[in-house]
A = this chain, B = another copy of it.
């Protein structure tokens, strides 16, 4: 029997998708047009109080930069996602998703702006999770540089059209995945993101 491979699913610009992964499933995230960020957050299905943890992952992997071979851990210290392949090589795990509060603070206006925070909450609302636990996301293709002084800068993604990253689910997961809404993180324009799930043989 061939392993089931779904067709790529398109996440329209400035929106998000929510879906389940079973243990062993492969999630591929594809930057269709290049220079587009996709924020990822996840909850353990078996214990929804246990969520993706930037701080635990940085501590256990001894790095702030994650690529092929890296594991993303939960707050309880359990492996959630392992990065199998990565054609881009630059992602961020330092900063929280963009939010309406952030846009309003930066612009000094009360205008509405789409945000990854709101889009993740909408995408994950279908699942029995506590949306208040959404914290620092794994920001796929996001290019945050840091200096010895500690100063960070959000620069244009290094991803080219067709670049992709593949994760293996190490436990059953609820996933929220965005096509990021922050023009400043995406080379000036917000574009779609695609993802594809290859089901495990289990």
* A96 engages B63 (CB within 8 Å): no
Q: How far is the CB of A140 from chain B (nearest CB, A)?
A: 15
* B59 engages A102 (CB within 8 Å): yes
A96-B56 in contact given A101-B77, A135-B135, A146-B146 (Cβ < 8 Å): yes
Contacts of A66 in B (CB 8 A): 150
**A125 at the A/B interface (Cβ < 8 Å)?**
no
> How many copies of this chain?
2
A135-B96 in contact given A59-B102, A62-B151 (Cβ < 8 Å): no
A-side interface residues toward B, CB under 8 Å?
Answer: 49, 53-56, 58-60, 62-66, 75-77, 94-96, 99, 101-102, 105, 130, 132-133, 135-137, 146, 149-153
Q: Across the two chains, which residue of chain B brings its CB closest to A90?
A: B150
Q: Give Cα distance in the complex from A63 to B64, angstroms.
A: 14
* B135 engages A132 (CB within 8 Å): no
Interface SS of chain A: loop
Q: Across the two chains, which residue of chain B brings its CB closest to A104?
A: B77
* B64 engages A152 (CB within 8 Å): yes
Q: Across the two chains, which residue of chain B brings its CB closest to A132?
A: B49
Contacts of A62 in B (CB 8 A): 151-153
* B58 engages A75 (CB within 8 Å): no
Q: Give Cα distance in the complex from A131 to B60, angstroms.
A: 21
Q: How far is the CB of A194 from chain B (nearest CB, A)?
A: 26
**Can you give 20 A-B contacts (C-beta < 8 A)?**
A53-B136, A54-B136, A55-B94, A55-B137, A56-B95, A59-B94, A59-B96, A62-B152, A62-B153, A63-B149, A64-B150, A65-B150, A66-B150, A75-B96, A76-B101, A77-B99, A77-B102, A94-B94, A132-B133, A136-B136
